[in-house]
A = this chain, B = another copy of it.
Amino acid sequence: MSLTPTPPLVKLVGAGPGAADLLTLRAVRAIEWASLLLVDDLVNPDIVALASPQARVIHVGKRGGCQQTPQAFIERLMVRGAQGGERVVRLKGGDPFIFGRGGEEVQTLRSHGMEVEVINGITAGLAGVSSLGVPLTHRQHAQGVVLLTGHAQAGALATNWGAVAQAASQLHLTLVIYMGVRELPAIEQGLRQGLADDTPVAVIQNATLPQQRHAVTVLSDLAAMVLREGLSSPAIVVVGDVLKGLAQAQAVACENTGLFEENLEHAWTLNASTSLAAR
């Protein structure tokens, strides 16, 4: 009788949008299980601190302005660790399967005969919008949601923002754009080919973290507003009529405090804790 050895198991774990308590219970257990933890840079240190004191933690994301650790190197680390008997967890910001290259990692691991468990995380785009108290869908305003990346990766197709805008307008879709801040002038220009200049937009930086900031304006002011308000990565851009209620509510709030503007042309920045504080 021959026993087939159990293939090594690697876990790809979503760390969620930022706040440590937005981790799932399953993710917590996976992090505690790990003996080798490969961590993206945007993952909250409070989440990494859940790892066993005996676990090795390797940070593999971008750091400041430096080059990203090559994807092939990360995948080699996972394969070698698992082959060497380590309990490997790859900890990624948000959800591993949304703009996280998790699909490529799964392919590599399986091609080496490994089993892979994927543990979803709350994706930053959806959490960022929710943190403003704004729904992604609404019977009157949005029939659905599109998640897109503004930062075309090497080897990827370029996004036709004009066509995105036409689809969003025709189909009443909310747009949620990840990693778009650096490309905003081009994104704004493209989107204005299919969406009205006064379409509400919001930019949310550091969603769900104590330092979260956001600003709301209209599409034709998007790139200028981000410069004016000093918003930067990591940030989510949201476009669509679901923001209308927010814009109105904030206009009323500004009016009450003597800061009312006639229209949305002047953007405003609010610390999210003023509207929807975590308790």
On A, residues with C-beta under 8 Å from B are 9, 16-17, 19-26, 28-29, 95-104, 106-107, 110, 116-118, 120-123, 126-127, 129-131, 133-140, 143-149, 153, 155-157, 159-160, 163-164, 166-167, 170-173, 242, 245, 249, 276-279
Contacts and interface: CB of A to CB of B under 8 A. Distances in A.
A12 to B, nearest CB: 9
Contacts of A156: 139-140, 143
Nearest to A167: B167
A145 B126 CA distance: 12
B146 A173 contact: yes
B16 A21 contact: no
A126 B148 contact: no
Given A145-B146, A167-B171, A133 B157 contact: no
A58 B172 CA distance: 34
Contact of A103 (B9, B164, B242): B242
B159 A163 contact: no
B104 A133 contact: no
B133 A106 contact: yes
Nearest to A147: B145
A254 to B, nearest CB: 16
A120 B116 contact: no
Copies in the complex: 2
A16 B85 CA distance: 32
A95 B155 contact: no
Nearest to A148: B144
B137 A103 contact: yes
Point out which of A95, A103, A155, A249 has the most chain B C-beta atoms below 10 A from its C-beta: A103
Nearest to A95: B126
A278 to B, nearest CB: 7
28 contacts: A9-B279, A16-B24, A19-B26, A21-B26, A21-B29, A95-B126, A97-B129, A97-B137, A98-B126, A98-B135, A100-B135, A102-B135, A103-B134, A103-B137, A110-B249, A116-B276, A117-B277, A118-B276, A120-B122, A140-B155, A144-B147, A144-B159, A146-B146, A159-B171, A160-B171, A163-B171, A164-B171, A166-B167
A24 B23 contact: yes
Given A21-B26, A170-B163, A171-B164, A117 B279 contact: yes
Contacts of A138: 103-104
B135 A106 contact: yes
A47 B182 CA distance: 41
Nearest to A28: B25
A33 to B, nearest CB: 9
Contacts of A20: 25
